[in-house]
A and B are shown apart, each in its own frame.
Chain A
Amino acid sequence: MSETSLQDLKPIPSPGRQIYKPKGIIRFFARFKYNKIALVALIILFVIFAISIFAPYLAPYDPAKGVLTERLRPPTLERPAGGGFPHIFGTDQQGRDVLSRIMYGGRVSLTVAFTVVGICFIFGTVLGLISGYFGGWVDMILMRVVDVVSSFPGLLVALAFVMVLGPSERNLIIALTVNGWMIHARMARSQVLTLRESAMVESARAIGLSVPGIVFGHILPNIISPLITVFVLDLGHQIAAEANMSFLGFGIQPPKSSWGLMIGEGRQYIASAWWLVTFPGIMIGLTLLCLNLFGNWVREEFDPLSRKQ
C-alpha cells in the first residue's frame, strides 16, 4: 500500500453534470423552492386529474340526464326548483348540469390525451433508443421515416383517418397516435446520441454488461427527465388536438362528452347562453397552462444547460 492514504483527502464538491440525489417525495417538493408557480400548477393539475378520475362520485348530477324545465339556466348559486345542488355553471339546452358535464368531459379529454401520449411515448422512446444506440443504417432508415412522417400535414392525416374509420373515441386515439409518436422518437434518439459515446457507456460495456442492460439500466435513467418534459408538454398538445377534433365534430361523439365537444355543441347558443362555451374553454386553457408551466419547470430544473445562470 502507498504511504499516504487517500481517505484523508477532503471531498471537494464538483460542478458539472446534473446530480440526482436519492429519491423521496420530500426532496421532490424541495425542488420547487425557487418556483412556486410550478408548484401551484402541479397542485391544480392534481385537482383536475382527481376531479376527472372521481367524477362519478363528485358530480352533483347525471351528465347525460336533462331536466326539461331547467333548460339553459344561467350560472346561479340558488338551488333549483326540484332541490339539489345549485347549477353553479348553469345548464345546457337539454337541461343538463354543465358542472357535471365538465367533470365527466374532463375524464374523456384526459383519457384520450393520456392514452395517445402513453402509446406515443413508449413506441417513440423505444424506437429512438434503438435508433440512437445502434446508429448505422437502422438509424438512417428510422430517422428518414420520422422526417417524412413529421412533414405530413398532421391535422389532415388525422381527419383522413377519422373520415374512413368513422368518428369515435377509439378512432380519434388512432388518428392522434399516428401523428404524435415522432417527437418522442426524436427526443429519445438525440438524448441517446449524447450518451452513446460517453465514458459511462464504455465503462458499462467494459465490465460486460449486455446491450439491454446498458440501454435500460444506464442510458434510459439518465435521459428520463428530458423525456418526461416532452411527455408533459405533449399531453397539453394532445388535449388541444382532441378538443379541436371534437369541436369540429370528428372526435368524441354524443352522448359522450369532452370539453372540446361541449364548446362545439354550445356554439349555436353563444348569443343567449355564454356559459356553455366559456367554462369548458377555461378548463382546457387552465389545464394546458398548468401542463406548460410544470413542463417548463421540469425542463429547467433537470437540465443544467437551460438553467438560468
Chain B
Amino acid sequence: MLKYVIQRLLFTVVVIFGVSILVFVITHLIGDPVKAMLPLQATDAQRAQLAHQLGLDKPIWQQLTEFLGNMIRLDFGVSWWQQVSCLSIVLSKIPTTLVLVGVSFIIAIIIAFPMGIIAAYKPDSLLDRILTTASLIGICLPSFWVALMLVLFFAVKLGWFYTSGYGTIRHLVLPAVTLAVVPAGHIAQIVRFSMAEQLNAQYAVTARAKGVKESVVLVKHVLKNIMTAVLTIGGMDLAMYLAGEAAAVEVVFGWPGFGSLVVDTISRQDFPLLQAEIFVVAVIICLINLIVDMLYAYFDPRITY
C-alpha cells in the first residue's frame, strides 16, 4: 500500500515536471510576452528594458533551470498582470471553485442514482428509455449552452435567480445545476448499465432466494459492486472540472473561481500565473486519482496495492 502511494507520488512528480517543462519551453520558444505586454508603438529600448526586467533576455536553458529551481521551492514568481505572488492568487481561487463543483456533484448524485436505479429495475421499459435518453442528452449538451438556457428561463424570464455574481445561495443554484448535468448523465448511465448486469448476477439471486430484502440486496450487495465503475467516471468528471473545464460556465455566471482566472490569464498572457495554475491543477488531478484508487480498494476488497 505504502509502496503504491510512493509510486503514485513519484509519477505525479514526473507529470508535474513534464507538463511544466513542456509549457515553459513552448511559451518561451514560440511566444513573445514582451510584444504582448507593451503597446504597439513601444520603442525597442522599452522592449529591451521590459525583457531584462522579466529575465527574458537570458538564454532559454538558464531561464528553465531557474524556473525549475524556483518551482521546487513552490515559488512561481509574481504575476505580470496583478503584481502578486502567483501561487497565492491561484490558491485563493480554488475554494470558490471547490464550493461550486462540490455542490454540483451533490446535486448530480442526488439526481443520477435514483434515475439509474429506477431504469435498471425496469430494463427496456418506456421509463427506462426515457431516463436513459435523458441522461445521454445531458452528456451531449454543451454546458455553457445549458448555462445560458437556464439564465434565459430562470433568471431573465422568471427572475428567480441572479444571472451572475457570487455570494448568496441565489447566485449558486444556477451554476451548480449547470455543472451537475454532465456528471449526472455519466453517473446515471453507468449506474443503469452496471446495475442491469449485477441485479441478475448469481450472488444477487442467491441473496433474494435466502429471503434478503430487496432494499438490502440493492444497498449492501449491488450498489457496493458498481461503486468502482461510478467512482471511475465521477473521478474523471471531478478532475476535469477542477482542471478548468468549468471555465465557460464560471464565465457565463461571473463566478470568480479558478476557471474564470484561467480565462483571464490567457487573455492577459500572464506566463508565470499560467505555470502556477498548471502546477496546482496537476497536483489536484493526481490527488483525486489517488483518492479514487484508495476508494476502489475500500469498495472492492480484491484490489490491493
Q: Which residues of A contact B (CB under 8 A)?
A: 147-149, 151-157, 159-165, 236, 240, 243-244, 247-250, 260, 263, 267, 270-271, 274, 277-278, 280-281, 284-285, 288-289, 292-293
Contacts and interface: CB of A to CB of B under 8 A. Distances in A.
Contact of B148 (A164, A281, A289): A281
21 contacts: A152-B282, A153-B243, A154-B240, A156-B274, A156-B277, A157-B22, A159-B244, A160-B23, A160-B278, A163-B269, A240-B142, A247-B248, A263-B142, A270-B152, A277-B149, A278-B149, A281-B145, A284-B141, A284-B142, A289-B137, A293-B136
Nearest to A290: B140
Interface string B262-305: 11011101000010011001100110010000000000000000
Contact of B141 (A148, A152, A285): A285
A288 B140 contact: yes
Interface range, B side:
35 or more
A243 B285 contact: no
B285 A151 contact: yes
Contact of B140 (A155, A157, A165, A285): A285
Contacts of B289: 151
Contacts of B277: 156
The 10 A-B residue pairs with the shortest CB-CB distance, nearest first, are A164-B31, A281-B145, A288-B140, A153-B243, A153-B281, A289-B140, A151-B15, A285-B141, A164-B30, A163-B266
B55 interface: no
Interface string B11-36: 10011001100110011001100000
A292 B186 CA distance: 13
B156 interface: yes
A247 B240 CA distance: 18
Contacts of B263: 248
Given A156-B277, A159-B266, A163-B31, 9 more contacts: A159-B274, A240-B142, A247-B142, A277-B148, A281-B141, A281-B145, A284-B142, A288-B141, A292-B140
B139 interface: yes
B142 A155 contact: no
B247 interface: yes
A148 B16 CA distance: 9
**Chain B binding surface, main DSSP class:** helix
A234 B141 CA distance: 15
A160 B278 CA distance: 10
B262 A161 contact: no
Contacts of A250: 266
Contacts of A263: 142, 144-145, 148
B11 A147 contact: yes
B141 A248 contact: no
Given A151-B285, A156-B243, A164 B26 contact: yes
Contact of B266 (A149, A153, A162, A285): A162
A267 B136 contact: no
B139 A281 contact: no
Nearest to A152: B19
Interface in B218-249: 240, 243-245, 247-248
A270 B26 CA distance: 38
B195 to A, nearest CB: 14
B145 A153 contact: no
Contacts of B144: 243-244, 247, 263
Contacts of B247: 155, 248
A274 B152 contact: yes
A151 B267 CA distance: 25
